[in-house]
Structure 1
Amino acid sequence: MAQVRVAVGAVVRRGRDVLLVRDGDDWALPGGAVGDGEPLLRRVAAEAGYADVVAERLVWVARYTAGGQRYEMIGFEVTGVGPHGGGGEWVALGEALQRLGTMWFAPIREPAVAYLSGRARVATLWSWPDLDGPPDTVPPVSPA
């Protein structure tokens, strides 16, 4: 059985604003691939500009296969620890939804937009049998 590669993304809020980071030409939530033995939220803290972050809740797990490799993207809502040392841009929720909605990669875009817009419940499981098709979700996610 192929090893599952793990990535993490996090919703960081300041009032009604959401922290976004640049990912090439796209905007994304802080996070990224997690190395073997690396604490899940270390990359989130570094990208978000905090000394550390505290996971408040699990908001999604997205499973997909690409190039024969299995992946799991785990999404958390977190609180930053210590002063915010830069990194990313704070944007209003509506603007965050617009920016994230244009992201090319569905296993990041779809769970993030659905959660932030209130269409998906906490701890939703997203599965893409085919990355070109729609995901299966448990529990079901309300349409946009």
Structure 2
Amino acid sequence: MNFSEHNQADIGNPTRDYVGDRLSRITPSGPGYFSLTSDDGSYVQTAGARMKLVIEYRKSNGDSFRHYVLGRDDISNPSATQINSAVGQINLMADEILDIDDVIDVFGHFLECGAVPRQYKLRDDTKRFQDSGSDEP
């Protein structure tokens, strides 16, 4: 696993405690985004601030991938909204606004299992990358 932090050198094979500590420092002014990438290229990434975060999950499969935005099943608010981050405003649905506890949970689970916890719903956002011709977020 490789842990990346906004404006910092990458860290190989981080511990769960290290990742949780670094994630808890997220702010819209920076460090504003983090990612954790597995050897197969799958990753989780987050941006925002402690109380309003977006979490994305990319599942690689050889030369292809599926890209998802995580959300809560227990919130039924389909309205579009935005959050601020160090990389600018991010458009998402209201039920996709997560917090620091969610991101620490998701990153920790991904670090240990290579997947995201089942309690989060996944909105497939792969088309955004196919339309742009890029595999970069």
Q: Structure 2-normalised TM-score? A: 0.28
Q: Which structure carries more helix by proportion?
A: 2
Greater relative contact order (Cα < 8 A, sep 6+): 1
Q: Is the strand fraction higher in 1 or 2?
A: 1
